Structure 1
Amino acid sequence: MKAMMVDELGPPEIMQFKEMPDPVAGPGEIRVRIRAVGLNFPDILMIAGKYQHKPDLPFAPGMEAAGEVLDVGDGVTDYAPGQRVIIHGKGGMYAEQAVVPEAWAVPLPESWSFEEGAAFWSAYLTAYVGLVSRGRMQAGETALIHGAAGGVGLAAVELAHALGARVIAVAGGKAKCDAVLAKGADFAIDHRTESFRDRVMEITDGAGADVIYDPVGGDVVFQSLRSIAWGGRLLIIGFAGGTIPEVPANYALLKSCKVIGVRAGEYGRRDPAAGRQVMRHMLELADSGKLQPHVHAVMPLQRAVDALAEISSRRVVGKMVLAC
């Protein structure tokens, strides 16, 4: 098989497109012919050795993909050769084949393409674990979504809308604001031209947002705490803005709010039953047409460096996908 390999840590440009041995499925595992790979900002961090998971060199990055089952190991009962699946893992997906435990796979919805399936797992799992499992968002509450046109942000907009929240989405530029409105946001705030704090307080008549979903970090955290509702929940998703802030405890005290860290992948690893329940509900929403991953563009596997550059440029709406 061919794969994009990291032999030394650094920028994405250090990856090499190589011939590698085909993997072999062991007991409880499935081997998948990957057709599409979903790209995520943490891929860039992992290639540089700056992500919390640091695989041994050499490795292929990539945490999610979609394809067809080639064969299965002993003890596998839920999957058979030829079945279309979505898979995830801690790495190894920038390749034409991958082996994963059967528990790390779900059936690809019949109406979805491989590209849509590859854009699903990480973004929607992060959105669901953040908003629902950790944030306890309820129908009728106001959800403020930062980075709303990105992969995890757009998934959060769509999910919050599907679950009955009033959605305020923050994005940069008219095209991205139009995209979040199309996914169900009730209000779109262009952070390039207006203060999201002022607009949130205006929209909510001074009450603030009940749940705030923040994959950006930096100064966004401080302004979010100034626009959160009494008893609200601020969800720390990541730091795509590049700066890890120190949260001022007095803000949490004054608003009696919670600051909650979200590690969606670890949530399911530590509580597999809860993780399976999350995925079942998301697939139910997908089958009912309430969730539909947005693919910004598709590039061939060997152009992974160019695709990651698109993510770094902040031009992407939804998810970049590689075709294998």
Structure 2
Amino acid sequence: MSRNVRFHATGDAGVLRLDEVDVPAPVKGEVRIRARALGLNRAEVMFRTGQYVVDPVFPSAIGYEASGIVDAVGPDVDHVSAGDAVSVVPAFAMTDYGVHGELVLAPAHAVVRHPDSLSWEEAAAVWMQYITAYGGLIDIAGLGAGDTVLLPAASSSVGLASIQVARMVGATPVALTRTSAKREQLLEVGAAAVIAAQEEDVVARVLDLTNGRGARVAFDPVGGPGVAQLAAAAAPGGIIVNYGALDPRDMALPVMDVLGKHLTLRGYELFEITKDDARRRAAIDFVLDGLSRELLRPVIDRTFTLDEIAAAHRYLEASAQVGKIVVTIPE
């Protein structure tokens, strides 16, 4: 039997339980993993509270990211073997698989052998953040050398990953955050500049940093009325890639900025990349290359034990972290 995270009704973190479950042997196209660490994401909070793109089916498993040791493989799985150290790419629906638990099943296409240099905690913090950043910045926006990119909510795991991805391709990452409290931490992880949106004139700072041209790319998980600032700070021909709704209010775009600067607003979600075989392989190759050259390195804010899973969710919801929240499972 395995203790796996499940919930039997939507609600706050208190609905999460460690249920004893019998995990079956993997069938064709599946891998069974004995987990060592679990990565937490805001998507799991939304799923748990019934605010996600799919509704849970009870009792519901949960979790997109895990690292651990392959326990068994199903027929026709030949890219990993029992005993391999692997981590899981979010390339499935949580209504089909949930990988937060001691012994879990995952679809084989979502299981990757990661570099030996990563700890279990780091390996559980790789794929959601770096593929999200790769997809929005590289695959869609074509970010490259000489570009300036604006990164709202920059202290999130995806924000920090985006700083590193931008640096990897020679772009200039400008971190946006609400106050200056996290300024030094953001500079330490590679931000070229930090703008505290509640304390500074965002548009004036961006224009100053770009010699009046503006930023070609904005990678935005916030949405809401604040998108107007991103449009005003954008360069002619710029693109705003929106990948979240931390502010659930409707966007308000200044039409003359959109028309006069020929701006593009593009909605984006991770699964555009991870559910497309060719794009997923390209993303994995990009991330593995960055990890192997130590240009990408997950930032861990805090770890919790499996018994503290509810506390870990509450900490994530408080939005005080700089980096990834990881849950550990001892051997």
Provide the rounded CA distance (Å) in 2 between the counterparts of 1:319 and 1:56. 27
C-alpha contact 2:273 2:283 (8 A) present in aligned 1: no
Q: Does the aligned pair in 2 maintain the 1:23–1:98 contact within 8 Å?
A: no
- Give the deviation of 1:138 after TM superposition: 1.6
Is the Cα contact below 8 Å between 2:228 and 2:252 reproduced in 1?
no
Number of matched pairs: 323
8 Å Cα contact 2:70/2:82 also seen in 1: yes
**C-alpha RMSD of matched pairs (Å):** 1.5
Determine the C-alpha separation between the residues in 2 that align with 1:100 and 1:4.
15
What do the CA deviations read for 1:267-303 (whole angstroms, capped 9, x no partner)?
231x211211111111011101100000101101221
Distance 1:304 1:90 in 2: 21
Give 2:177's match in structure 1, choosing from 156, 171, 174: 171
- The two structures have a TM-score, normalised by structure 1, of 0.96
1:316 maps to 321
Q: Name the residue aligned to 2:305.
A: 300
* 1:12-91 equivalence runs, <5 A: 12-88=13-89, 89-91=92-94
Aligned partners of 1:234 and 1:68: how far apart in 2?
39
Q: Give the partner amino acid of 1:294.
A: V
- CA shift for structure 1 position 107: 0.9
Contact 1:139 1:163 in 2 (8 A): yes
**2:291 maps to which residue?**
286
Could you tell me how far apart the structure 1 residues matched to 2:12 and 2:32 are? 29
SS in 2 for 1:160: helix
**1:203 and 2:196 are equivalent in the alignment:** no
- Aligned-pair identity in percent equals 31
Q: Does 1:187 align with 2:216?
A: no
**Rounded Cα–Cα distance in structure 1 between residues aligned with 2:44 and 2:56:** 12
Q: Which residue matches 1:113?
A: 119
Asked if the contact 1:23–1:97 (Cα under 8 Å) also holds between the matched residues in 2, the reply is no
Query: Could you tell me how far apart the structure 1 residues matched to 2:250 and 2:44 are?
Result: 18
- Give 4+ residue runs of structure 1 displaced > 4 Å after superposition: 246-250
Encode CA deviations 1:195-243: one digit per residue, 9 max, x unaligned: 2222111111221101001011122211101110000010101012343
Deviation at 1:165, TM superposition (A): 0.2
Equivalent pair of 2:26/2:73 in contact (CA under 8 Å) = yes
Question: Secondary structure in 2 aligned to 1:179?
Answer: helix
Where 1:291 maps in the other structure, the secondary structure is coil
Q: Secondary structure of 1:180's match?
A: helix
My pick for the range that moved more, 286-295 or 243-252, is 243-252
| 1:221 counterpart SS class | helix
1:308 and 1:111 map into 2 onto residues whose CA distance is 28
Aligned-partner SS, 1:305: helix
Give 1:174 deviation, angstroms: 3.9
Contact 1:225–1:251 (8 Å) recurs in 2: yes
SS, match of residue 46 in structure 1: helix
Does structure 2 retain, via aligned residues, the 8 Å contact 1:149–1:177?
no
Change (3 A) 1:232 1:4: same
Alpha-carbon contact 2:99-2:106 (below 8 Å) kept: no
Q: Is contact 1:66–1:108 with CA below 8 Å preserved after alignment?
A: no
Q: Which of 239-248 and 200-209 deviates more? A: 239-248
**Partner SS, residue 8 of structure 1:** coil
